[in-house]
């Protein structure tokens, strides 16, 4: 388990949130699947819900206003020492601002951006709230992956914004691993070409998707179906663990994964 107690270095995934059309249904679905409890931040925060695991926040959830487009996704945020500066670097590299940099009470400062291929992502500059407090255990995220039509162009964009090192994976798969410069820590991946995820509206779209760790990928797939979601790809073994591609009741794609055990030293 990784217990996060302070702000992560620039470019590290540090928060997730989602807007949904039915908050009660979403809480039931994700609470049953991932063991989350929920804490409503109140009317002054638009009833934003903290999704808690072991009493610690791991993600956020909110009700979308009526009239919003019927397409939903998990939004991945990346740590930013300077939210405004990184937002400018993103636009200089060809991205667009969706939500300009803004303070969120005393919690931190955020922005939401769109990369040149259309994938949304966020920046989070933590203050009293550094982001997800628990990662890499069942019920929390373990990996984040960009699915893009042009993986090379996507890699160059995120390299320009966050200074990532790009590590193409050997073999026939169009996959590039993102490493944080300096310490070489793996922070995510880019899947290119034919593996494009369909957005909630049914149209092909570049997007960030999240892998949530679970104790049992097969049982998680059963719970997804029982909760009104769908399974796009049945659980299968990979060198990194056993995982399935699924969707929640609103069509949002994500992965459930039982990570492979790390070799004993």
Mind spelling out the 3-state secondary structure of 91-155? Answer: HHCCCEEEEEEEEECCCEEEEEEECCCCCEEEEEEECCCCCCCEECCCCCEEEEEEEECCHHHHH
With a pLDDT cut of 70, the percent of the chain lying above it is 92
Q: What is the pLDDT of residues 24-64, one digit of tens each?
A: 999 999 999 999 999 999 998 889 999 999 999 999 999 98
Structural fold of domain 138-259: 2,3-Dihydroxybiphenyl 1,2-Dioxygenase; domain 1 (3.10.180)
Mean pLDDT calculated for residue range 66-95: 90
- Locate tokens 């200089």: which residue? 92
pLDDT of residue 249: 96
pLDDT exceeds 60 at position 196: no
Q: What is the pLDDT of residues 219-231, one digit of tens each?
A: 999 999 999 999 9
Q: What is the pLDDT of residues 6-22, one digit of tens each?
A: 899 999 999 999 999 99
Neighbours of 52 (CB within 10 A): 18
* Element containing residue 159 per DSSP (H, E): helix 151-162
**Residues ≥6 apart with Cβ < 8 Å to 231:** 221, 224, 225, 244, 245, 246, 247
Residues paired with 247 in a beta bridge: 230, 253
Mean pLDDT calculated for residue range 151-170: 96
Burial tier of 159 (Cβ tally within 10 Å: 0-12, 13-18, 19+): middle
pLDDT of residue 95: 98
pLDDT of residue 140: 98
How are strands ordered across the β-sheet holding 175-179?
A: 165-168, 175-179, 186-192, 141-148, 207-213, 253-259, 241-247, 230-238
Is there a common fold for 2-134 and 138-259? yes
Kindly state the tokens that stand for 22: 């039915």
pLDDT exceeds 80 at position 159: yes
Domain ranges for the chain: 2-134, 138-259
Q: How many CA atoms lie within 13 A of 50 on its CB side?
A: 17
* Element containing residue 170 per DSSP (H, E): none
pLDDT of residue 69: 62
pTM over 0.85, yes/no: yes
- Three-state DSSP state, 134: strand
- Three-state DSSP state, 149: coil
Mean pLDDT calculated for residue range 124-133: 96
Average pLDDT of the chain is 92
Kindly state the tokens that stand for 163: 């200074």
Nearest to 118 by CA among 94, 141, 101, 100: 94
CATH number of 2-134: 3.10.180.10, 3.40.50.920, 2.60.40.10, 2.40.37.10?
3.10.180.10
């Amino acid at each position: 388990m990784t217990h996060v107690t302070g702000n992560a270095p620039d470019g590290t995934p540090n928060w997730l949130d989602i807007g949904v059309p039915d908050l009660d249904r979403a809480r039931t679905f994700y609470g049953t699947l991932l063991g989350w409890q929920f804490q409503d931040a109140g009317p002054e925060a638009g009833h934003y819900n903290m999704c808690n695991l072991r009493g610690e926040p791991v993600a956020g959830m909110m009700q979308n206003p009526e009239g919003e487009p019927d397409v939903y996704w998990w939004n991945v945020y990346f740590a930013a020492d300077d939210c405004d500066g990184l937002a400018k670097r993103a636009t200089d590299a060809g991205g667009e601002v969706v939500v300009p940099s803004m303070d969120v009470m005393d919690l931190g400062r955020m922005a939401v951006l769109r990369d040149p291929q259309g994938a949304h992502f966020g920046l989070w500059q933590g203050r009293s709230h550094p982001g997800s407090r628990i990662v890499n255990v069942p019920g929390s995220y373990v990996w984040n992956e960009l699915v893009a039509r042009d993986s090379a162009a996507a890699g160059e964009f995120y390299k320009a914004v966050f200074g990532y090192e790009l590590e193409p994976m050997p073999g026939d798969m169009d996959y590039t691993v993102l490493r944080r410069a300096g310490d070489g820590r793996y922070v995510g991946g880019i899947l290119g070409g034919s593996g494009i995820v369909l957005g909630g509206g049914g149209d092909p779209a570049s997007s960030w998707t999240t892998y949530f760790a679970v104790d049992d990928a097969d049982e998680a797939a059963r719970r997804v179906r029982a909760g009104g979601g769908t399974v796009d790809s049945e659980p299968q073994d990979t060198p990194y663990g056993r995982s399935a591609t699924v969707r929640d009741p609103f069509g949002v794609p994500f992965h459930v994964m039982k990570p492979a055990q790390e070799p004993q030293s």
